[in-house]
Amino acid sequence: MAPPPKSAHELLDFINSSPTPYHAVQTASHLLTTASFTRIHERSPWDSTTIHPGGKYFLTRNASSLIAFAVGHQWTPGNPIAMIGAHTDSPCLRIKPVSKRTANGYLQIGVETYGGGIWHSWFDRDLSVAGRVLVKIKEGEFEQRLVRVTKPIVRIPSLAIHLHRQSNFDPNKEEEMVPIAGLVEEVLNKKTETTEEKGEEEEEFEPLKKIDERHHPESSVGGINDEFIYSGRLDNLDMTFCGIKALIESVKDPKSLEGEKGIRLVACFDHEEIGSLSAHGADSNMLPAVLRRLSVLPGAKGEKGENSNETAFEQTLAKSFLISADMAHAVHPNYAGKYERNHQPQMNKGVVIKINANQRYATNSPGIVLVQECGRRKKVPLQLFVVKNDSPCGSTIGPMLSAKMGVRTLDLGNPQLTAHEAQVLFT
C-alpha cells in the first residue's frame, strides 16, 4: 500500500492549522511569506517602488480574506490576469456576544448558526473554540490576537431515544442547539491551564469578536488504502489551499515570470457561506479595487499600456479569466438516484466542472473548452456536473464576480461527500 502523497499531508496541515477564516488567512500568509511574497496594504499608496514586474505580493482584508498575485516581467496595463477565486469560511456555530446561559445545573453557551450547515451532524461531537479577540494593550491601543483552545470543551448532546422516538431528527436551532460547557458550580472564568494556554495573563480583553465553535478532532487520512481524507471545513479550505499552493508552485522557478505578460492571482474571500455581501466578501469591492489599482501601475520598462491607462482596467477585465474554485458533489453510493444519471462525479476521477443553465454556476461553453484543453495538455482528468431538474442547485462566488467584473468565469471543484457537515469525506 503506497503512502498518501506529500500534498495530502500538506493539505491536512493547512486545515488543522485553520479552524477559522482568520487562522486560514494567517496560515496562507505564512506560506506566502515563506515563498518570498511581499505583504502590502490597501491603506498604503501603490507605485512602481511598491509593486513592479517580476514581483510577488499579497494583502489581507479584515484578516479573513486574502489576495495574492505575481506580476509577469512583461506586464503592461491592459494585459490579462489569470485568477482563481475561493473562500475561507465554512458552516459553523458562532458564539453570541452575551453567551453565558444556565439551565438545570448546567453551564451552557449561546450560539448562532453560521451558513447552511447540516446541523444534526454537530450533535454528540467533541467541540472546541477558536477565533479572534481584541486585546487592550494600553489606553486607546488595541491588538488583534487569534485564539484556539486545543482540547474539546463543549458538546451538544442529543436526547436519549427513550425520550424521543421520532424518526426524523430536526432540532430547534435556538433551544436545542445549545452547547454544554460544564456544571454551574464550576466557575467559567477561573484561572486554569486552558486560560493560560497562550500566556496572556495580565492583558485586558475586550468583548470577543467572531469566536466560533468547531468540530475538534483533527483531519486525518482514512480508508482501506488510505485513499480518503476525513475532515471538517474541506468546503472550502481544500480549494483555498490548492489555489495558494498552485500560485506558489507556479513561480517557484526564478525564471517563471520572465516571459509572462500577465498577472497570476488568487483571491480567497470570507462570508461565501452567507451570501458574500460584506466588506470582505466576494460581493465587495475587494477584487475589483485591487485590479483597478494594478491597471494604473507602470508596466515593463515604465510602459503605460497600448491605449494609455484610461481604459486599461476595462481591457484587463475583457482579456482575463477567472476560475471559481469551490468543492463539488461526488456521487453518493447510497443515494445515487439524487444525481443526474449522466453527470455523477466520482472520487479520484478528476476535477469537476460545474454547469447550470440558470446561472447558479458561471460556466459557459468557451470556458469549458478552454479548461478542457488545459487539462488535455497536462493530462489532468475532468468531469462534468449538472443537478437534476427536480433538485435545487447551490451557487458560488462565480456568478457574482463574473457579473460584477464582466470576466469570463468557470466554476469547478474537487468532489466530496456530505458537504456542510461537521466532518466530510474527500479523496
**CATH code for the domain of 27:** 3.40.630.10
Domain-located, residue 271: yes
Q: Are residues 161 and 199 in the same domain?
A: yes
State whether 98 and 86 are in the same domain: no
Cα–Cα distance for residue pair 203/195, rounded to 1 Å: 12
> Same structural domain for residues 383 and 263?
yes
Does 227 lie in the same domain as 203?
Answer: no
Would you say residue 292 lies in a domain? yes
Question: Which of 216, 251, 277 finishes a domain?
Answer: 216
Whether residues 329 and 205 share a domain: the answer is no
Three-state DSSP class for residue 7 = helix
DSSP-based three-state secondary structure for 266: strand
pLDDT tens for the 427 residues of the chain, in order: 677 788 899 999 999 999 999 999 999 999 999 999 999 999 999 998 999 999 999 999 999 999 999 999 999 999 999 999 999 999 999 999 999 999 999 999 999 999 999 999 999 999 999 999 999 998 989 999 999 998 999 999 999 888 887 767 888 999 999 999 999 875 555 555 554 454 444 455 455 455 666 666 689 999 999 999 999 999 999 999 999 999 999 999 989 999 999 999 999 999 999 999 999 999 999 999 999 999 988 776 666 655 456 899 999 999 999 999 999 999 999 999 999 999 999 999 999 999 999 999 999 999 999 999 999 999 999 999 999 999 999 999 999 999 999 999 999 999 999 887 787 666 6
Structural domain contains residue 296 = yes
Q: What is the DSSP letter of 231?
A: E
Q: Give yes or no: residues 168 and 266 share one domain.
A: no
> Domain check: are 324 and 336 in the same one?
yes
Buried-exposed string 216-255: b where 16+ CB fall within 10 A, e elsewhere = beebebeeeeeebbbbbbbbbbbbbbbbbbebbeebeeee
Query: Could you say which of 187, 216, 245 is where a domain stops?
Result: 216
Residue 267 sits in the same domain as residue 398 = yes
**For the chain, how are helix, strand and coil distributed in percent, rounded to 5?**
25, 30, 50
C-alpha–C-alpha distance, residues 425 and 145, integer Å: 31
Q: Are residues 226 and 371 in the same domain?
A: yes
Q: How many CB atoms lie within 10 A of CB 145?
A: 15
Q: Is residue 1 one of the residues assigned to a domain?
A: no
Q: Name the residue range of residue 26's domain.
A: 6-90+221-426
Same domain, 198 and 263: no
Q: Give me the number of domains the chain comprises.
A: 2
Of the three residues 216, 236, 269, the one that is the final residue of a domain is 216
DSSP 61-89: ETTTEEEEEEE-TT--TT--EEEEEEE--
- Cis before 104? omega within 30: no
Same domain, yes or no, for 85 and 98? no
- Is 239 a domain residue? yes
Do residue 407 and residue 393 come from a single domain? yes
Distance CA 375, CA 393 (A): 26
Task: Give the predicted TM-score (pTM) of the model.
Answer: 0.91
Through-space distance between the first and last CA atoms of the chain, rounded to whole angstroms: 16
Contacts 24+ apart (CB under 8 A), 375-382: 375/350, 375/351, 380/350, 380/351, 381/349, 381/350, 381/351, 382/350, 382/351, 382/352, 382/353, 382/412
Distance of CA 408 to the CA centre of its chain: 21
CATH of the domain at 193: 2.30.250.10
SS3 280: coil
Strands 321-325, 81-87: pairing kind: parallel
* The one-letter amino acid at 278: S
